[in-house]
Amino acid sequence: MQYSEEKVILNNGSYMPSIGFGTSLIEGKECILNVKQALEAGYRHIDTASAYENESYIGEAIKESNIPREEIFITSKVWKDSMGYEKTIESFNKSLQNLGLDYIDLYLIHWPRNNDKNLNIETWRALEDLYKQGKVKAIGVSNFLKHHLDIILDNCEIVPMVDQLEIHPGLTRKETVKFCKENNIVVEAWAPLGKGKMLQNEKLVEIAEKYNKSVAQICIKWCLQNGIVPLPKTTNWNRMLENKDVFDFLILDEDIDFINSMSFFAGSDMDPNKS
């Protein structure tokens, strides 16, 4: 992925907008309003999951927006307690019904199961079949590190198209990102702003002032210039607009390198190896 591209080509030839809108913890009427605002602000990539319990609200927002379905890229995910072949198919169909859609653009395994490798494989087999049936346009994983991906690649017909990981300054997942790029798997970043904790970091504030941008814009642009699709989340209209307004500048290599080298200082503390 090139930093200037507003769309990314997946390994099956399909396109995905290079900035998504995250919806975790946004529910009810607020979710309908925020997703409609995001669509009005120009977002065409909406990320949800069955575990977020907001798919029906997102479906309502899409319906009310009157934007043609083919212009919107929707991601959902199967949760840990619904893994396994049959349960995954059931969960997918429920998500499809909740969203009120005929297909989902990207469907992911939300978390790996460390205590049951076969469960990961069977769940992936379900995703492959959903993909072959045309019910989903692309398939992938979320929170899978390299060793989790190895198991999928050793037992799959279809290579994952996406791996969604917690990535932000101080948490770069270098080994997994390198592995994904080598295998033509697009990396997405959830919590690219570190759940807001990045915004007060003194070094990032200095860099943002240098470019006359916000720290959020720096974090999002840093993802893009590293070939990663960021999924920022906000319920604030002005920040929605700001988070998308990152295509008019470049972060210099020296600053990219500095951010790449930052030690962990904030994040969710959610460990894929303990799922």
Which residues are marked as active site?
Answer: 52
Which residues of 41-135 form beta strands (DSSP E)? Answer: 45-47, 73-78, 104-109
- In sequence order, what are the beta bridge partners of 8? 16
Residue 247, SS3? coil
C-beta separation of 77 from 54 below 8 A: no
Cβ(218)–Cβ(250) under 8 Å?
A: no
Do residues 110 and 143 lie in contact, with contact meaning Cβ atoms separated by under 8 Å? yes
DSSP string over 159-189 = --SEEEEE-BTTB--HHHHHHHHHTT-EEEE
